Amino acid sequence: MKRTFRAAVLGLLMPAMALAVAPVTTTHTTEADFTASESDGVVVWSLGEISLGAATRTILADQAGVDAVTAVASAADGTLYVGTAAEGRILRIAPDGTAAALADLDCAMITDLVLDGPRLLAATAGGPAGVYAVDVGSGAVTELFTHADVSAVWDIALAGRRLLAATGSGGTLFAIDPDGRAEAIFTVDQKVLRRLVTTGQAAFVGTGEGGLVYHIDLARPGYPSRVVLDADEAEVVSLVVDWAGTLYAAATNVTTATPNPPAATDGGRPVGDTQAAPPPAATAPAQRDEPRDDPRPAPTTQPAGQPAAGDDGGEGEQGQDDPAPQQQQPAVQPVQAASAPSVTATARGRRSGGDGGGNTVYRIARSGLVDAVAKIPETILSMAYVDQPTPELLVGVDGGRVRAVDLMTASTGALAEIDPSKVTALAVTADGVVVAGTTAPATVLTTTMAPTAQGTFVSRPIDAGQIARWGSVSIVADLPAGTGATVAVRTGNVAEPHERTWSDWSAELPATMGWTALEVPAGRFAQYRLTLTGKAAIVPAAVPIVDSISLVHQVGNLAPQIDALTVEASDNPQKASTGAEPLRYRLVAIQAGDPNGDTLRYDLYYRPRGGGVWIRWEKDLEAPKTAWDTRGVADGAYELRVVATDAPSNPPATAQRDERLSRAVIVDNTPPRIDAADVTAVANGVRLTGSFADANRIASVRYLLSGEDVPVVAAAADGIYDSPGESIDVVIGDLEPGAHALTLEVRDEFGNTAHRTLDVSVQR
């Protein structure tokens, strides 16, 4: 049952600061929210939960001539066999942790190791590529398989009495019989068979280019094949089979993988298991020959991933529900493989060509249905399956992590953080111990999957945007008996936390019922630290799980900010001028905002420019725009003033305001003066003269003769209408003899118009 614990930071942070604005709650509850500044011993799951990670133990480090651990196999007595890169050395690690060299195959890389009774089968790449048998007692090496066209054997697996070898260069799968005969049974156009796993009478192979997984029927003549996965990614880097016969394929682009971002939405949790219940005995997959109380086969002891090298990197996985293979007789001499393969497979019509994608673990059910069970943030290098305490896939990645994929909840998380940068090999021993091999530097680590006793998670800084008072913190967690969770908070005013620029951590606040005061200084940034404690001594281990954490902050009330006050003359109070009427209105637009997001109200004032009493003509305006009707004021120059206040969102004592003045606003509602207007007769027409004046600029002069529809623009005497005083001297010719009426129209820049009509007589 989930219990809710809330720990409060009440109002002791800034006692002098009164409530100014509404508090803001920051809640972290998704994988993306829980992006750590630093963490130690905790797991962030893709469902947005934090729990304790697995404790690890380093059993091998700093081996001369070893650059990478590329394969791991485990014997029933706990002895580990480790394949390496650089010099192709095989190491033996005794149960007491003592390490010694078993054999040196003088190759670039040991790509896979498979235990077969008293001998260890080793696949190699680079140098003398092939398959070799190593006596686990003496270390004597016998060559089993080589081929002139094979530059790498990336994976091997036992299928009954035969050994299968997946190769690069030619992309061929070879079957090697106990009598030493090798047969090429399958070839693909992709040129590289990267991964191999067997189960029952079937083999599954994954390609190192094209992102394909093939199913090969080993029981039928000709070994018919079909594609069971066409991944978006280019490379299938691992294949494992669980106890129920479900196949899992890890696909990536080792050199160009696109990172998958963490989950950023809170979609809740799945109800029930995502895996089907174990099938009844009558329908269970084929079991090993020896009787077992547990209907499931023992966990595989095969390695589950190696690094890329050359065209690919290799890892092997013995089929987990194969019939128990018969022990092979050691080959007495090297066997050269047959040259002609039995089956050639070609995949056509690829949907993506493996050009894109990120890092995906696919699940291929026995029915053939495929789904993406997990998206992994980093490049996948290795994978293994465990079924205790719950079914999980363990994924080794580039970045020094072993990620767990919980097959019951479809959640993923970094189970263990490892200092070396690449987890290149994973294996599970018969008693459930997980073995991880790494690169840069080369180490071997183990974990029993038991959680660490304590872990910490330090969040990334939370930015309030301004100096803030940090109020309460709330934790929602599952805390089984014997476990605990505490939180501490610190604040600062620079983005990067540092002990010299940030406050000290507050006291640890237990996640128990009730509220507890925590004193931290005000600051723009805050950071929390979760400390989880578990109880690994009980079975199953008790682990605390934090589901979400919320922090409430409140910034001081900041004044509104008026960025602009613009005024535009118009003949319409609702919109810009149409040009048809005098410009009696001034459209006022306010550009303003509030740092706190408060609601604003506006007061507007006017006064004659140069001084005088401010007269308010708008009060508590909600919209940042209005129209000023200037017909109620005298002509002249004015200035407008806007006052913005955040009073609707704050108590009167803490409300803030900002002011801004407009540029000069000219009011002119008076038509121009026509000081003089006269017409005199000239040949076949008249001469029109006039002079005009206005407080502002004369914009145009036009005349209209009786009987005409369109007025004519009269040119200014000086060629431009650009001043308050203008005159015209225009000859109007080609008039018919007789009497005419001429209407004169004078307009100023604000659309005010004056008219005068003159009588005109034209002689014959």
SS3 state of residue 282:
helix
At 510 the pLDDT is 82
Q: Which residues pair with 530 in a beta bridge?
A: 457, 487
Look at the block and give the residue holding tokens 């209209």.
704
At 135 the pLDDT is 95
Which tokens go with 263? 């989950």
In the sheet where 247-252 sits, what is the strand order?
Answer: 235-241, 247-252, 360-364, 370-375
Residues 521-555 pLDDT 10s: 999 999 999 999 988 655 566 889 999 998 889 88
Q: Does pLDDT of 77 surpass 50? A: yes
Cβ pair 420, 439 in contact under 8 A: yes
Q: Does pLDDT of 281 surpass 50? A: no
Structural domains of the chain sorted by starting position, each given as residue range(s) with its CATH number in brackets: 3-52+454-554 (2.60.120), 69-447 (2.120.10.30), 561-667 (2.60.40.10), 673-762 (2.60.40.650)
Cα end-to-end distance, the chain, whole Å: 114
Cβ count near 98 (within 10 Å): 9
Closest CA to 686 of 666, 706, 665: 706
Cβ pair 41, 53 in contact under 8 A: yes
In the sheet where 162-167 sits, what is the strand order?
Answer: 153-159, 162-167, 172-176, 182-188, 344-345
Torsion, Cα 510 513 515 517, to 10 degrees, reads -10
231 or 37: which leads in pLDDT? 231
At 266 the pLDDT is 67
At residue 269 the predicted structure's pLDDT band, cuts being 50, 70 and 90, is: low
Q: Say which residues have a Cβ less than 8 Å from residue 611's Cβ, sequence separation at least 6.
A: none
SS3 state of residue 219:
coil
Distance in angstroms (rounded) separating the CA atoms of residues 160 and 430: 20
Distance in angstroms (rounded) separating the CA atoms of residues 721 and 712: 15
Least confident of 254-258, 326-330, 650-654, 719-723: 326-330
Least confident of 151-165, 328-342, 475-489: 328-342
Cβ count near 15 (within 10 Å): 8
Closest CA to 124 of 158, 140, 93, 147: 147
Closest CA to 115 of 157, 64, 59: 157
At 306 the pLDDT is 37
Cβ count near 713 (within 10 Å): 12
∠ at Cα 187 (182, 191), nearest 5°?
115
Q: Say which residues have a Cβ less than 8 Å from residue 148's Cβ, sequence separation at least 6.
A: none
Cβ pair 224, 217 in contact under 8 A: yes
Average pLDDT, whole number, for the chain? 83
Q: Does pLDDT of 429 surpass 70? A: yes
What is the percentage of the chain residues whose pLDDT exceeds 70? Answer: 82
At 400 the pLDDT is 84
SS3 state of residue 543:
coil
Distance in angstroms (rounded) separating the CA atoms of residues 250 and 240: 9
Distance in angstroms (rounded) separating the CA atoms of residues 85 and 400: 18
SS3 state of residue 422:
strand
Distance of CA 686 to CAs 53, 665, 703, Å? 104, 41, 13
Distance in angstroms (rounded) separating the CA atoms of residues 520 and 487: 13
At residue 149 the predicted structure's pLDDT band, cuts being 50, 70 and 90, is: confident
At 288 the pLDDT is 29
Q: Say which residues have a Cβ less than 8 Å from residue 88's Cβ, sequence separation at least 6.
A: 104, 105, 106, 107, 108, 109, 110, 124, 126, 127
Cβ pair 408, 273 in contact under 8 A: yes
> Residues 62-87, buried b or exposed e (16+ Cβ, 10 A)?
ebeebbbbbbbbbbeeebbbbbbbbb
Least confident of 15-24, 234-243, 697-706, 751-760: 15-24
Which tokens go with 193? 């068979």
Residues 484-528 pLDDT 10s: 999 999 999 999 999 899 999 999 988 765 556 668 899 999 999
Q: Where is 711: in which H helix or E strand? A: none
Ramachandran bin of 117, using left for φ above 0, alpha for ψ from -120 to 50, beta for the remaining angles? left
Summarize the chain as % helix, strand, coil (round to 5).
0, 50, 50
Distance in angstroms (rounded) separating the CA atoms of residues 594 and 22: 13
Q: Say which residues have a Cβ less than 8 Å from residue 363's Cβ, sequence separation at least 6.
A: 246, 247, 248, 370, 371, 372, 373
At 619 the pLDDT is 97
Q: Say which residues have a Cβ less than 8 Å from residue 42's Cβ, sequence separation at least 6.
A: 50, 51, 52, 53, 455, 456, 457, 530, 532
At residue 448 the predicted structure's pLDDT band, cuts being 50, 70 and 90, is: confident
What one-character-per-residue DSSP string does 50-86 give?
Answer: EEE-B--EEEEE--TT--EEEEEEE-TTS-EEEEEES
At residue 256 the predicted structure's pLDDT band, cuts being 50, 70 and 90, is: low
Cis-peptide, bond into residue 441, ω within 30° of zero: yes
Cβ pair 229, 249 in contact under 8 A: yes
